Amino acid sequence: MLDPAVLKELKRILGADGVSTTPEELVAYSYDATQREALPWAVARPQTVAQVSQVLAFANRERFPVVPRGAGTGMSGGSVPTQGGVVLSFERMNRILEIDEENMIAVAEPGVVTGDLQREVESRGLFYPPDPASHRFCTLGGNVAECAGGLRAVKYGVTKDYVLGLEVVLPTGEIITTGARTAKSVAGYDLTKLIVGSEGTLGVVTKIIVKLLPLPESVLTLSAFFRSVDDAARAASKVLASRIIPRALELIDQAALRAVENYLKEDLSQGAAAMLIVEVDGPAETTERESARVADILTKAGATRVQSADAGPEREQLWKARRSISPALYTIKPKKINEDIVVPRSRIADILREINDIAKHYDLLIVNFGHAGDGNIHTNIMLDDVDLPKAGEAVKKIFAAVLRLGGSITGEHGIGISKAPYLPMELSPDALSAMKRIKQALDPNNILNPGKIFLNAE
Ligand code: MLT
Ligand code: ZN
């Protein structure tokens, strides 16, 4: 519950219009894309780093939780205020501050929508590769907090590969900068990498410096259809083994195809049992050569049809369909447990087979799609009721199989609250304890996004 004296001080720091406590707004900031929810006591909307610093120093003195939030598109509960407190929302810190074309960097506030930055730099012949499926809504601050991946990670890497430096407010209120604006810097510990992916538990990011690349000259997109998901998974591994690195290599299984076709009222695949989308980029002569080789590999690997998408509306429609799978799955069942397991690229077919066996054993519908090029599959257990105990058992079995195959339980969505119970399956007690000691050193009173990553902070 919010003490009136705390509310008064928040209003003094942020101005009356910078703080909300109406029931409607509390509900609007209570959930993310996991469908988990918990009401905050108040929503704070800072406009400056000084305000963020004052809020954190005050929270640290008064010992109330602060939960940073971008657009609430997270997939592991990272921005859900499970212990109440104040949600710190960055919608008023949403400016692209600078695009330095000569040094190929951009500087932005955390509330900038990722797709807006992509579009702005592309209009200048530059390229910001990280491309989460939710790029039209998600924010850079959230991407940094979770180290978001996305559709182009197979060739270009993930958010941490592009963040050169940050401005960060520590949970005790100090404002620090990390990294540099240069291509290289090894001055001290790499605090940038520590903060990226720390899920809003170690500091609040208020400014982000990212590296940009030249915009690739040409892009070619292929879709390929298969008789089984096993064929599609093997074909994906064959493309990767051919020494061509596509900029996207996405797999969609039958249930996901039917769901998205239903959702968009569009026939994408003419009844195929699985689909791959493969996209290559680079100079025009290279992309033409590479796409012809990829088409050949896919056909030899058993594709029943391979077709290329025209640049423009046809390609956009294809990617729109891919990006719509996540919401489209709700046309199958009202609830889903969405995992983002990752295995070595050569083991995609193996893990999909194991998941299929687990689905049969527990009599569950499990839908798979995602970034086959990274070995990163979104495994969705479709449910009428999330509390079904056998779903939890199935998740545990899936994670055990992933780890046995040399993978990781999360490729891009983070641990948050949804995977906290399973983190000890992947990390040793000593590794967990080292992480908790870092948390305690930076946030001695455990006020910043408490309850995330670790089931208990001690
Ligand atoms: C995606 O790749 O579509 C996103 O990570 C969302 C999801 O996993 O549902
Ligand atoms: Zn994804």
Give the domain CATH number at 274.
3.30.70.2190
Shared domain for 294 and 308, answered yes or no, is: yes
Quote the pLDDT of residue 415. 98
pLDDT digits (tens, 9 = 90+) for 191-202: 999 999 999 999
Check whether 1 has a pLDDT greater than 80: no
Per-residue DSSP letter, 215: P
Domain membership of residue 224 (yes or no) is yes
Q: How far is CA 7 from CA 57, 93, 144, 204, in A?
A: 15, 21, 29, 20
Among 159, 207, 209, 157, CA closest to 183? 209
Q: Which atom of ligand 1 is the closest one to the Cα of 151? A: 2
CA–CA separation, 440 and 446 (whole Å): 7
Domain finish residue from 89, 117, 150: 89
Q: Which of 35, 245, 84, 34 is nearest to 152 (CA)?
A: 245
Given a contact cutoff of 8 angstroms between Cβ atoms, the answer to whether 351 and 402 are in contact is yes
Q: Give yes or no: residues 183 and 224 share one domain.
A: no
* CA 131 – ligand 2 centroid, Å: 9
Both 20 and 41 in one domain: the answer is: yes
CA 425 → CA 128, 185, 298, 356, 441, distances in Å? 34, 35, 36, 21, 25
Residues 106 and 207 in one domain: yes
Instruction: Answer yes or no: is 421 within a domain.
Output: no
Indicate whether 228 pLDDT > 80: yes
Q: Does ligand 1 have an atom closer than 6 angstroms to the CB of 342?
A: no
pLDDT over 80 at 409, yes or no = yes
Closest ligand 1 atom, residue 326 Cα? 9
Q: Using CA atoms in the order 324, 325, 327, 329, what is the torsion angle rounded to 10 degrees? A: 150
CA atoms 51, 54, 59, 65: torsion sign? positive
Checking if the pLDDT of 21 tops 90, the result is yes
Per residue in 418-442, pLDDT (tens digit) is: 999 999 999 999 999 999 999 999 9
C-alpha to C-alpha distance for 68 and 343, rounded to whole angstroms:
30
Buried b (16+ CB within 10 A) or exposed e, 205-238: bbbbbbbbeeebeebbbbbbbbeebbbbbbbbbb
CATH, residue 72: 3.30.43.10
- In this prediction the pTM is 0.97
Between the CA of 185 and the centroid of ligand 2 the distance, in Å, is 30
pLDDT of the residue at 385: 83
In the chain, % of residues over pLDDT 90: 97
Report if residue 142 sits inside a domain: yes
Residues 71 and 155 in one domain: no
Tell whether 101 and 200 lie within a shared domain.
yes
> Does ligand 1 lie within 6 Å of residue 336's CB atom?
no
Could you tell me the residue range of the domain that residue 386 belongs to?
Answer: 333-404
Residue 387 confidence (pLDDT): 80
Range 89-113 average pLDDT = 98
Residue 439 belongs to some domain of the structure: no
Q: Please state, in angstroms and rounded to a whole number, the distance separating the CA atoms of residues 39 and 18.
A: 18
Taking the C-alpha atoms of residue 141 and residue 159, their distance in angstroms, rounded to an integer, is 11
Distance CA 318, CA 345 (A): 24
Protein residue closest via CA to atom 3 of ligand 1: 133
pLDDT at residue 78 is higher than 80: yes
**Residue 406 CB contacts under 8 Å (≥ 6 apart), including other chains:** 343, 344, 347
Q: Can you give the CATH number for the domain in which 396 is found?
A: 3.30.70.2740
Between the CA of 21 and the centroid of ligand 2 the distance, in Å, is: 33
pLDDT at 386: 77
Q: Which ligand is nearest to the CA of 134?
A: 1
Q: Which of 89, 112, 134 lies at the terminal end of a domain, its last residue?
A: 89
Is the domain of 184 the same as that of 227?
no
* 53 within a domain of the structure (yes/no): yes
CA distance 426 to 190: 23
Q: Report yes or no: 258 and 367 within 8 Å, Cβ to Cβ.
A: no
Among 100, 130, 99, smallest CA distance to 115 is for: 130
Considering 198, 214, 230, which residue would you say is the last residue of a domain?
214
- Cα separation of 280 and 291, whole Å? 7
Q: Are residues 271 and 191 in the same domain?
A: no
The residue whose C-alpha atom lies closest to atom 7 belonging to ligand 1 is: 326
Nearest Cα to Cα of residue 326 among 269, 270, 371: 371
CATH of the domain at 193: 3.30.465.10
Residue 199 and residue 253 share a domain: no
Residues 208 and 102 in one domain: yes
Which pLDDT score, from 0 to 100, does residue 310 have?
Answer: 86
* Of residues 242, 220, 222, the one with CA closest to residue 306: 222
Q: Is residue 255 part of a domain?
A: yes
Ligand whose nearest atom lies closest to the CA of 158: 2
Minimal-distance CA residue to ligand 1 atom 9 = 326
Residues 275 and 231 in one domain: yes
Percent of the chain with pLDDT over 70: 100
- pLDDT for 2 equals 84
Six token digits for residue 256? 């996901």
Q: Is 338 in the pocket of ligand 1 (CB under 6 A)?
A: yes
In a domain, 242, yes or no: yes
Q: Is the CB of 20 inside a 6 Å radius of any atom of ligand 1?
A: no
Helix, strand, coil share (%) of the chain residues, nearest 5? 40, 25, 40
Q: What is the mean pLDDT of the chain?
A: 97
Say how many domains are in the chain. Answer: 4
Provide the pLDDT for residue 296. Answer: 98
Mean pLDDT of 30-51: 97
Q: State whether 167 and 119 are in the same domain.
A: yes
CB 101 within 8 A of CB 121: no
pLDDT tens digits for range 253-310? 999 999 999 999 999 999 999 999 999 999 999 999 999 999 999 999 999 999 999 8
Residue 306 lies in a domain: yes
